[in-house]
Protein backbone atom coordinates (compact mmCIF):
# COMPACT_ATOMS: atom_id res chain seq x y z
CA UNK A 1 0.00 0.00 0.00
CA UNK A 2 1.05 3.58 -0.64
CA UNK A 3 0.13 6.20 1.93
CA UNK A 4 0.95 9.65 3.31
CA UNK A 5 2.39 9.30 6.80
CA UNK A 6 2.77 11.87 9.56
CA UNK A 7 6.24 11.19 10.98
CA UNK A 8 7.23 14.37 12.83
CA UNK A 9 5.55 17.57 14.00
CA UNK A 10 5.87 20.56 11.64
CA UNK A 11 7.38 18.35 8.91
CA UNK A 12 5.78 17.40 5.56
CA UNK A 13 3.95 14.08 5.32
CA UNK A 14 6.07 11.27 3.86
CA UNK A 15 4.45 9.41 0.96
CA UNK A 16 5.82 5.86 0.99
CA UNK A 17 5.14 2.16 0.42
CA UNK A 18 4.01 0.32 3.55
CA UNK A 19 3.04 -3.27 4.35
CA UNK A 20 -0.50 -3.57 5.64
CA UNK A 21 -0.83 -5.40 8.96
CA UNK A 22 -2.90 -8.61 8.69
CA UNK A 23 -6.58 -7.60 9.12
CA UNK A 24 -8.56 -9.08 12.02
CA UNK A 25 -11.95 -10.84 12.10
CA UNK A 26 -13.87 -7.58 12.77
CA UNK A 27 -11.98 -5.63 10.08
CA UNK A 28 -12.77 -4.71 6.51
CA UNK A 29 -10.26 -3.71 3.84
CA UNK A 30 -11.38 -0.74 1.73
CA UNK A 31 -9.97 0.34 -1.64
CA UNK A 32 -10.00 4.11 -1.32
CA UNK A 33 -11.53 5.99 -4.26
CA UNK A 34 -11.33 9.55 -2.92
CA UNK A 35 -10.15 11.39 0.16
CA UNK A 36 -10.74 15.01 1.14
CA UNK A 37 -7.99 17.01 2.84
CA UNK A 38 -9.51 18.52 5.99
CA UNK A 39 -8.12 21.08 8.41
CA UNK A 40 -8.02 18.46 11.18
CA UNK A 41 -5.32 16.57 9.22
CA UNK A 42 -3.25 19.73 9.19
CA UNK A 43 -4.02 20.11 12.90
CA UNK A 44 -2.25 16.79 13.56
CA UNK A 45 0.88 17.92 11.72
CA UNK A 46 1.16 21.19 13.67
CA UNK A 47 0.44 19.74 17.11
CA UNK A 48 -3.04 21.27 17.53
CA UNK A 49 -4.26 17.69 17.92
CA UNK A 50 -1.33 15.83 19.47
CA UNK A 51 -1.27 12.32 18.03
CA UNK A 52 1.94 10.31 18.33
CA UNK A 53 3.57 9.54 14.97
CA UNK A 54 3.81 7.53 12.84
CA UNK A 55 0.22 7.91 11.71
CA UNK A 56 -1.35 7.61 8.26
CA UNK A 57 -3.44 10.76 7.97
CA UNK A 58 -6.78 11.28 6.22
CA UNK A 59 -10.21 10.83 7.81
CA UNK A 60 -12.61 11.95 5.04
CA UNK A 61 -12.85 9.18 2.48
CA UNK A 62 -15.00 6.86 0.39
CA UNK A 63 -14.26 3.62 -1.42
CA UNK A 64 -15.19 0.01 -2.12
CA UNK A 65 -14.96 -2.92 0.30
CA UNK A 66 -12.37 -5.41 -0.92
CA UNK A 67 -12.27 -7.99 1.88
CA UNK A 68 -14.21 -8.66 5.08
CA UNK A 69 -13.21 -10.55 8.25
CA UNK A 70 -15.03 -13.65 9.47
CA UNK A 71 -17.04 -11.76 12.13
CA UNK A 72 -18.16 -8.93 9.86
CA UNK A 73 -21.93 -9.05 9.44
CA UNK A 74 -23.03 -5.83 7.69
CA UNK A 75 -20.63 -5.53 4.76
CA UNK A 76 -19.56 -7.70 1.82
CA UNK A 77 -16.87 -7.20 -0.83
CA UNK A 78 -18.06 -4.80 -3.52
CA UNK A 79 -20.06 -2.58 -1.13
CA UNK A 80 -19.61 1.14 -1.60
CA UNK A 81 -18.76 2.76 1.74
CA UNK A 82 -18.06 6.10 3.36
CA UNK A 83 -15.59 6.00 6.23
CA UNK A 84 -16.72 7.41 9.58
CA UNK A 85 -13.95 8.86 11.75
CA UNK A 86 -15.98 8.14 14.86
CA UNK A 87 -16.93 4.45 14.97
CA UNK A 88 -20.59 3.60 15.34
CA UNK A 89 -20.22 0.33 17.26
CA UNK A 90 -23.96 0.03 17.85
CA UNK A 91 -23.64 -1.46 21.32
CA UNK A 92 -22.00 1.07 23.69
CA UNK A 93 -24.03 3.35 25.98
CA UNK A 94 -23.85 6.29 23.54
CA UNK A 95 -24.70 4.24 20.46
CA UNK A 96 -27.81 2.76 22.06
CA UNK A 97 -28.86 6.26 23.19
CA UNK A 98 -28.75 7.65 19.63
CA UNK A 99 -25.47 9.46 20.21
CA UNK A 100 -23.13 7.40 18.06
CA UNK A 101 -21.00 10.49 17.38
CA UNK A 102 -19.79 10.02 20.98
CA UNK A 103 -19.20 6.24 20.57
CA UNK A 104 -17.00 4.72 23.28
CA UNK A 105 -15.09 2.69 20.69
CA UNK A 106 -13.15 5.75 19.49
CA UNK A 107 -9.98 5.37 21.55
CA UNK A 108 -9.59 1.68 20.82
CA UNK A 109 -9.89 1.85 17.04
CA UNK A 110 -7.57 4.88 16.88
CA UNK A 111 -4.77 2.84 18.48
CA UNK A 112 -4.89 -0.19 16.18
CA UNK A 113 -1.60 -0.84 14.34
CA UNK A 114 -2.39 -0.80 10.62
CA UNK A 115 0.81 -0.77 8.57
CA UNK A 116 4.56 -1.40 8.79
CA UNK A 117 6.77 1.40 7.47
CA UNK A 118 9.95 0.72 5.43
CA UNK A 119 11.99 1.56 8.57
CA UNK A 120 10.18 -1.18 10.52
CA UNK A 121 8.01 1.07 12.73
CA UNK A 122 4.25 0.51 12.91
CA UNK A 123 1.78 3.19 11.87
CA UNK A 124 -1.78 3.68 13.09
CA UNK A 125 -4.49 5.24 10.91
CA UNK A 126 -5.73 8.69 11.94
CA UNK A 127 -8.92 8.23 13.99
CA UNK A 128 -8.87 4.54 13.07
CA UNK A 129 -8.92 5.38 9.32
CA UNK A 130 -5.96 6.68 7.29
CA UNK A 131 -7.63 7.65 4.01
CA UNK A 132 -4.50 9.27 2.52
CA UNK A 133 -3.74 5.89 1.00
CA UNK A 134 -4.80 3.58 -1.81
CA UNK A 135 -6.17 1.03 0.64
CA UNK A 136 -7.00 0.96 4.35
CA UNK A 137 -8.00 -1.59 6.95
CA UNK A 138 -10.69 -0.40 9.37
CA UNK A 139 -13.11 -1.86 11.87
CA UNK A 140 -16.54 -2.66 10.44
CA UNK A 141 -17.88 0.05 12.78
CA UNK A 142 -15.99 2.66 10.74
CA UNK A 143 -17.40 1.92 7.28
CA UNK A 144 -20.98 2.82 6.38
CA UNK A 145 -22.54 1.17 3.35
CA UNK A 146 -24.14 3.61 0.92
CA UNK A 147 -26.25 3.01 -2.17
CA UNK A 148 -25.81 5.84 -4.65
CA UNK A 149 -24.33 6.82 -8.01
CA UNK A 150 -22.79 10.05 -6.67
CA UNK A 151 -19.09 10.43 -7.54
CA UNK A 152 -16.58 9.23 -4.96
CA UNK A 153 -15.06 12.71 -4.57
CA UNK A 154 -18.42 13.95 -3.27
CA UNK A 155 -19.07 10.94 -1.05
CA UNK A 156 -15.65 11.44 0.55
CA UNK A 157 -16.68 14.89 1.78
CA UNK A 158 -19.68 13.37 3.55
CA UNK A 159 -17.15 11.49 5.68
CA UNK A 160 -16.19 14.65 7.58
CA UNK A 161 -16.77 18.21 6.36
CA UNK A 162 -20.31 17.88 5.04
CA UNK A 163 -21.60 15.79 7.92
CA UNK A 164 -19.91 18.01 10.50
CA UNK A 165 -21.25 21.22 8.98
CA UNK A 166 -24.71 20.21 7.78
CA UNK A 167 -25.14 18.16 10.96
CA UNK A 168 -24.18 21.17 13.12
CA UNK A 169 -27.10 23.10 11.60
CA UNK A 170 -29.68 20.29 11.38
CA UNK A 171 -28.79 18.11 14.39
CA UNK A 172 -26.82 20.13 16.94
CA UNK A 173 -28.47 23.55 16.64
CA UNK A 174 -31.70 22.42 14.95
CA UNK A 175 -31.94 25.71 13.08
CA UNK A 176 -35.54 26.82 12.68
CA UNK A 177 -37.11 28.13 9.47
CA UNK A 178 -36.98 31.92 9.22
CA UNK A 179 -34.08 32.31 11.64
CA UNK A 180 -30.88 34.33 11.37
CA UNK A 181 -27.62 32.37 11.32
CA UNK A 182 -24.04 33.67 11.55
CA UNK A 183 -21.15 31.45 10.43
CA UNK A 184 -17.64 32.44 11.54
CA UNK A 185 -15.13 30.67 9.28
CA UNK A 186 -16.26 29.56 5.82
CA UNK A 187 -13.80 26.82 4.85
CA UNK A 188 -14.99 23.36 3.87
CA UNK A 189 -16.87 22.82 7.11
CA UNK A 190 -18.25 26.38 7.31
CA UNK A 191 -19.65 26.13 3.78
CA UNK A 192 -21.45 22.97 4.87
CA UNK A 193 -22.92 24.81 7.89
CA UNK A 194 -24.19 27.49 5.48
CA UNK A 195 -25.79 24.82 3.31
CA UNK A 196 -27.31 23.15 6.37
CA UNK A 197 -28.80 26.46 7.48
CA UNK A 198 -30.21 27.03 3.99
CA UNK A 199 -31.72 23.52 3.95
CA UNK A 200 -33.24 24.21 7.38
CA UNK A 201 -34.94 27.30 5.96
CA UNK A 202 -32.93 30.06 7.63
CA UNK A 203 -34.07 33.45 6.34
CA UNK A 204 -30.75 35.15 6.79
CA UNK A 205 -27.30 33.59 6.70
CA UNK A 206 -24.37 35.85 7.55
CA UNK A 207 -21.01 34.48 6.33
CA UNK A 208 -17.89 35.78 8.07
CA UNK A 209 -14.46 35.06 6.58
CA UNK A 210 -11.45 37.24 5.72
CA UNK A 211 -10.84 35.47 2.40
CA UNK A 212 -12.67 36.73 -0.71
CA UNK A 213 -13.03 33.30 -2.31
CA UNK A 214 -14.67 31.93 0.84
CA UNK A 215 -17.19 34.77 1.00
CA UNK A 216 -18.00 34.43 -2.72
CA UNK A 217 -18.52 30.69 -2.39
CA UNK A 218 -20.63 31.29 0.74
CA UNK A 219 -22.90 33.55 -1.28
CA UNK A 220 -23.33 30.83 -3.91
CA UNK A 221 -24.16 28.36 -1.12
CA UNK A 222 -26.94 30.52 0.30
CA UNK A 223 -25.36 33.24 2.45
CA UNK A 224 -27.42 36.44 2.32
CA UNK A 225 -24.88 38.77 3.98
CA UNK A 226 -21.07 38.72 3.82
CA UNK A 227 -18.69 40.11 6.42
CA UNK A 228 -14.93 40.55 6.13
CA UNK A 229 -13.71 40.40 9.76
CA UNK A 230 -10.43 42.08 8.83
CA UNK A 231 -12.39 45.21 7.86
CA UNK A 232 -13.92 45.84 11.30
CA UNK A 233 -15.28 44.06 14.35
CA UNK A 234 -17.51 41.23 13.05
CA UNK A 235 -19.64 41.16 16.22
CA UNK A 236 -20.78 44.76 15.82
CA UNK A 237 -21.29 44.19 12.07
CA UNK A 238 -23.67 41.29 12.84
CA UNK A 239 -25.45 43.45 15.42
CA UNK A 240 -25.90 46.19 12.83
CA UNK A 241 -27.47 43.70 10.45
CA UNK A 242 -29.87 42.39 13.11
CA UNK A 243 -31.27 45.55 14.68
CA UNK A 244 -28.72 45.37 17.50
CA UNK A 245 -30.03 41.98 18.62
CA UNK A 246 -27.53 39.46 17.25
CA UNK A 247 -28.05 36.17 15.45
CA UNK A 248 -30.41 33.40 16.55
CA UNK A 249 -27.55 30.94 15.96
CA UNK A 250 -23.82 31.65 15.70
CA UNK A 251 -21.45 28.92 14.55
CA UNK A 252 -17.71 28.99 15.16
CA UNK A 253 -16.05 26.90 12.44
CA UNK A 254 -12.35 27.63 12.87
CA UNK A 255 -11.35 26.26 16.28
CA UNK A 256 -9.89 29.30 18.06
CA UNK A 257 -10.75 30.66 21.52
CA UNK A 258 -11.06 34.24 20.26
CA UNK A 259 -13.59 33.32 17.57
CA UNK A 260 -15.51 31.12 20.02
CA UNK A 261 -15.84 34.24 22.22
CA UNK A 262 -16.99 36.13 19.10
CA UNK A 263 -19.59 33.48 18.32
CA UNK A 264 -20.95 33.71 21.87
CA UNK A 265 -21.09 37.52 21.59
CA UNK A 266 -22.72 37.27 18.15
CA UNK A 267 -25.65 35.16 19.38
CA UNK A 268 -28.66 37.21 20.54
CA UNK A 269 -30.08 37.03 24.06
CA UNK A 270 -31.58 33.56 24.36
CA UNK A 271 -29.72 32.54 21.20
CA UNK A 272 -27.34 29.66 20.56
CA UNK A 273 -23.60 29.57 19.93
CA UNK A 274 -22.18 26.34 18.50
CA UNK A 275 -18.51 25.31 18.65
CA UNK A 276 -17.91 23.33 15.44
CA UNK A 277 -14.18 24.04 14.96
CA UNK A 278 -11.62 21.98 16.85
CA UNK A 279 -9.57 24.14 19.26
CA UNK A 280 -6.09 23.17 20.46
CA UNK A 281 -6.28 20.45 23.10
CA UNK A 282 -4.75 22.76 25.75
CA UNK A 283 -6.78 25.87 24.86
CA UNK A 284 -9.18 27.63 27.22
CA UNK A 285 -12.06 29.98 26.53
CA UNK A 286 -13.10 32.87 28.79
CA UNK A 287 -16.73 33.99 28.55
CA UNK A 288 -18.58 36.83 30.31
CA UNK A 289 -20.03 35.39 33.53
CA UNK A 290 -22.88 37.83 33.99
CA UNK A 291 -23.85 37.54 30.32
CA UNK A 292 -23.93 33.75 30.55
CA UNK A 293 -26.59 34.13 33.23
CA UNK A 294 -28.48 37.25 32.18
CA UNK A 295 -28.51 36.79 28.41
CA UNK A 296 -29.67 33.20 28.73
CA UNK A 297 -27.55 32.09 25.78
CA UNK A 298 -26.93 28.46 24.95
CA UNK A 299 -23.39 27.29 24.21
CA UNK A 300 -23.25 23.94 22.42
CA UNK A 301 -20.30 21.72 21.60
CA UNK A 302 -20.56 19.83 18.34
CA UNK A 303 -18.65 16.66 17.47
CA UNK A 304 -19.16 15.35 13.94
CA UNK A 305 -22.34 17.40 13.52
CA UNK A 306 -24.02 15.32 16.26
CA UNK A 307 -24.48 12.89 13.37
CA UNK A 308 -25.78 9.36 13.57
CA UNK A 309 -23.84 8.21 10.55
CA UNK A 310 -26.00 5.25 9.54
CA UNK A 311 -29.01 7.57 9.50
CA UNK A 312 -27.31 10.76 8.31
CA UNK A 313 -24.98 9.62 5.51
CA UNK A 314 -28.00 8.34 3.51
CA UNK A 315 -29.93 11.49 4.46
CA UNK A 316 -27.21 13.78 3.13
CA UNK A 317 -26.84 11.60 0.02
CA UNK A 318 -30.59 12.03 -0.68
CA UNK A 319 -30.26 15.80 -0.29
CA UNK A 320 -27.34 15.79 -2.73
CA UNK A 321 -29.09 13.50 -5.23
CA UNK A 322 -32.09 15.83 -5.35
CA UNK A 323 -29.89 18.89 -5.76
CA UNK A 324 -30.64 20.42 -2.36
CA UNK A 325 -27.12 19.88 -1.07
CA UNK A 326 -24.41 21.06 -3.46
CA UNK A 327 -21.39 18.82 -2.96
CA UNK A 328 -19.82 19.53 -6.35
CA UNK A 329 -19.16 23.18 -5.45
CA UNK A 330 -17.10 22.11 -2.46
CA UNK A 331 -14.50 20.26 -4.54
CA UNK A 332 -12.04 22.98 -5.57
CA UNK A 333 -9.12 20.84 -6.63
CA UNK A 334 -8.49 17.20 -7.53
CA UNK A 335 -4.99 16.05 -6.65
CA UNK A 336 -2.79 12.95 -6.47
CA UNK A 337 -1.59 11.48 -3.17
CA UNK A 338 1.92 12.90 -3.74
CA UNK A 339 0.48 16.43 -3.76
CA UNK A 340 -0.98 16.19 -0.27
CA UNK A 341 1.57 18.57 1.29
CA UNK A 342 0.73 21.16 -1.33
CA UNK A 343 -2.94 20.71 -0.40
CA UNK A 344 -2.06 21.79 3.16
CA UNK A 345 -0.29 24.83 1.77
CA UNK A 346 -3.29 25.70 -0.43
CA UNK A 347 -5.60 25.31 2.58
CA UNK A 348 -3.53 27.67 4.69
CA UNK A 349 -3.27 30.14 1.81
CA UNK A 350 -7.08 30.19 1.49
CA UNK A 351 -6.96 28.98 -2.14
CA UNK A 352 -9.43 26.12 -1.83
CA UNK A 353 -12.65 25.02 -0.18
CA UNK A 354 -11.51 21.38 -0.41
CA UNK A 355 -8.71 19.54 -2.19
CA UNK A 356 -9.68 15.94 -2.87
CA UNK A 357 -7.18 13.14 -3.52
CA UNK A 358 -8.54 10.96 -6.35
Residues that bind ligand APR (CB under 6 A): 38-40, 43, 161, 164, 184-190, 208-211, 214, 229, 253-255, 259, 276-278, 347, 350
Based on CB atoms, which residue is closest to ligand APR, 27 or 225? 225
Q: Report the greatest alpha carbon distance in the chain.
A: 63
From the list ligand APR, Zn ion, none, partner contacted by residue 30 (C-beta under 5 to 8 A by kind): none
Based on CB atoms, which residue is closest to ligand APR, 179 or 262? 262
Q: Each residue of 195-218: b (16+ CB within 10 Å) or e? A: bbbbbbebebbbbbbeeeebbebb
CA 34 to chain centre: 15
Q: Least distance to ligand APR from the beta carbon of 198, Å?
A: 17
Q: Least distance to Zn ion from the beta carbon of 308, Å?
A: 11
Q: Least distance to Zn ion from the beta carbon of 62, Å?
A: 14
CA–CA gap between residue 302 and residue 332 (Å, rounded): 26
From the list ligand APR, Zn ion, none, partner contacted by residue 101 (C-beta under 5 to 8 A by kind): none
**Among 171, 168, 200, residue whose Cα is nearest residue 184:** 168
From the list Zn ion, ligand APR, none, partner contacted by residue 21 (C-beta under 5 to 8 A by kind): none
DSSP H/E element including 253: none
From the list Zn ion, ligand APR, none, partner contacted by residue 159 (C-beta under 5 to 8 A by kind): none
Q: Least distance to ligand APR from the beta carbon of 264, Å?
A: 14
From the list Zn ion, ligand APR, none, partner contacted by residue 95 (C-beta under 5 to 8 A by kind): Zn ion
What is the binding site for Zn ion (CB under 5 A)? 38, 40, 89, 92, 95, 103, 105, 160
From the list Zn ion, ligand APR, none, partner contacted by residue 43 (C-beta under 5 to 8 A by kind): ligand APR
CA–CA gap between residue 13 and residue 48 (Å, rounded): 16
Based on CB atoms, which residue is closest to ligand APR, 211 or 226? 211
First to last CA, the chain: 15
Tally Cβ neighbours within 10 Å of residue 358. 16
Gyration radius of the chain's alpha carbons: 20
Based on CB atoms, which residue is closest to ligand APR, 115 or 218? 218
What is the tally of helices (H) and strands (E) in the chain?
12, 19
**In this chain, which residue has its C-beta nearest to ligand APR?**
187
From the list ligand APR, Zn ion, none, partner contacted by residue 214 (C-beta under 5 to 8 A by kind): ligand APR
Q: Least distance to ligand APR from the beta carbon of 207, Å?
A: 9
Based on CB atoms, which residue is closest to ligand APR, 79 or 85? 85
Residue 162 near residue 170 (C-beta atoms within 8 A): no
- Distances from the Cα of 31 to the Cαs of 24, 100, 120, 138, 140, in angstroms? 17, 25, 24, 11, 14
**Quick one: CA torsion of 17, 21, 26, 27, rounded to 10 degrees?**
10
CA–CA gap between residue 302 and residue 81 (Å, rounded): 24
Residue 104 near residue 60 (C-beta atoms within 8 A): no
Based on CB atoms, which residue is closest to ligand APR, 159 or 277? 277
Based on CB atoms, which residue is closest to ligand APR, 125 or 185? 185
Residue 132 near residue 337 (C-beta atoms within 8 A): yes
From the list Zn ion, ligand APR, none, partner contacted by residue 187 (C-beta under 5 to 8 A by kind): ligand APR
185: left (phi over 0), alpha (psi -120 to 50) or beta: left
Q: Least distance to ligand APR from the beta carbon of 166, Å?
A: 13
Based on CB atoms, which residue is closest to ligand APR, 3 or 186? 186
Q: Least distance to ligand APR from the beta carbon of 347, Å?
A: 5
CA–CA gap between residue 114 and residue 96 (Å, rounded): 28
Q: Least distance to ligand APR from the beta carbon of 220, Å?
A: 15
Amino acid sequence: MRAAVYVEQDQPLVVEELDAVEPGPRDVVVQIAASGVCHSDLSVTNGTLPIPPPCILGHEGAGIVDWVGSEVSHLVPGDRVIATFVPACGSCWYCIHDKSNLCEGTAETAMLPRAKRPNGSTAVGFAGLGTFSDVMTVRESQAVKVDTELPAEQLALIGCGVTTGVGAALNTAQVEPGSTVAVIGCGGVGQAVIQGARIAGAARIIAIDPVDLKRKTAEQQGATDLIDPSAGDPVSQVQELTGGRGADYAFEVIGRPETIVQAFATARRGGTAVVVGMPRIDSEVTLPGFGMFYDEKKLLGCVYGSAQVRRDFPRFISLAETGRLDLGAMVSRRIKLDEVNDAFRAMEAGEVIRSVIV
